[in-house]
Structure 1
Amino acid sequence: MNFIRPEASQALTRWRAVIISTLIILLGLWWALSSATPISWIGGAVVLMGVASAAAALQRMRFHAGRDGPGVVQIDEGAIAYFGPLTGGVVSRSEVTALAIDRSGKPPHWVLSQPGQPDVMIPLNAAGSDGLFDVFASLPGIRTERMLNEMRATAVGRVLIWQRNTRPATQLLH
């Protein structure tokens, strides 16, 4: 027997990381404010970790675009695979040269580019697409806040979010 309505259960699941981070912050505050011993210093550190964890959890929540879109995303050992009803493809995270969002289709798509291969188009709401946040956040120099804002923008067309610096290292020194 289930005592929680399905909608409430989904909301709690979606906010789970933020709730846990808030509890960590409260524990750290309790430790920091309840004594003047080294525990108070540890409490301050726990508060900082909780704040960082809450910020990351809120970013992940903003990245979530649903799971009812076409296709499935699988991420395994640096390979990003998309299996869709009409298209699909695999790209290595280390080979991605550009990340864009294309809002001309329904639903909007992530566009992952790599040299010598066709672009891999992944719907924002494909099953498993939440795992792309970690992959995208690990791209060198990406601005995650800009990526999250572009996800919510309403303009039509393709927008380049990130591009790998392809100049040789000798040119970077000059």
Structure 2
Amino acid sequence: MIRPELVARFKPWREVAAAVLTGLAGIWIFSLGGLLLQPLGGAILAFAILWGWGAWRRRRFAVEIAAPGLVEIEEGAIRYYGARALGGEVALRDLSQIRLIRLDGHAHWRLRTRNGEAVLIPVEAAGAAALADAFAALPGFDLGAAAAALAAKDAFRTVWQRPD
């Protein structure tokens, strides 16, 4: 019913659209008035604004899966199971640097630990979009800078470094 190219174009915006619709519902509930509905509508609107702001910043991380492998984030650890290349695991508390590197025209996150070990994770791997939430937990991490690095075509760019 809907053309596939149109669906592909609007797919990264679906979470933002859901937040906008939730905000509109909050405004509607607020407009009904009363001691119960106005605070409830205001709370829904505040939730929708925070959700929409986060979704707006995370939308660059959601790319079509085109690289082999799987990214899993569990209990403070980032695991990459590579199909062709080596995978690895890095604990968030051990990270010292995050870089975005382009190899053969494809972007990869290079996660380096304090011990000098590094893991390369393709941006286009399955589950890589969840890295935005994991990275946001790091001290001083700027999600906007990471989104700008994804949009840029630099060969490599340091996105975050531990402030030790």
**TM-score, normalised via structure 2 length:** 0.86
Alpha-carbon separation, structure 2, partners of 1:6 and 1:82: 30
SS in 2 for 1:165: coil
Letter in 2 for 1:162: W
- Whether contact under 8 Å (2:12, 2:62) holds in the other structure is no
Letter in 1 for 2:125: A
Percent identity, aligned pairs only, is 32
Q: For residues 13-35 of structure 1, give each alpha carbon's deviation from its aligned partner in whole angstroms, at most 9, with x where no partner exists.
A: 64432232122111111122232
Alpha-carbon separation, structure 2, partners of 1:57 and 1:116: 33
In structure 2, the residue matched to 1:150 is: 149
Letter in 1 for 2:132: F
- Whether contact under 8 Å (2:19, 2:48) holds in the other structure is yes
- Whether contact under 8 Å (2:79, 2:89) holds in the other structure is yes
In structure 2, the residue matched to 1:17 is: 15
* Farther-moved stretch of structure 1 (97-106 vs 6-15): 6-15
Alpha-carbon separation, structure 2, partners of 1:165 and 1:57: 26
Alpha-carbon separation, structure 2, partners of 1:142 and 1:60: 13
In structure 2, the residue matched to 1:79 is: 77
Count of aligned pairs: 163
In structure 2, the residue matched to 1:60 is: 58
Higher gyration radius (CA):
1
Where do 5+ consecutive residues of structure 2 fail to align? none
Where do 5+ consecutive residues of structure 1 fail to align? 167-174
State the superposition RMSD in angstroms.
2.1
In structure 1, the residue matched to 2:87 is: 88
Letter in 1 for 2:106: P
The Cα shift of 1:71 comes to 2.0
Q: For residues 34-70 of structure 1, give each alpha carbon's deviation from its aligned partner in whole angstroms, at most 9, with x where no partner exists.
A: 3253422331222121111111112221211321113
Moved over 4 A (4+): 3-14
Change (3 A) 1:18 1:80: same
1:50 equivalent among 37, 45, 48: 48
Letter in 2 for 1:126: A
The Cα shift of 1:5 comes to 5.6
2:26 equivalent among 21, 25, 28: 28
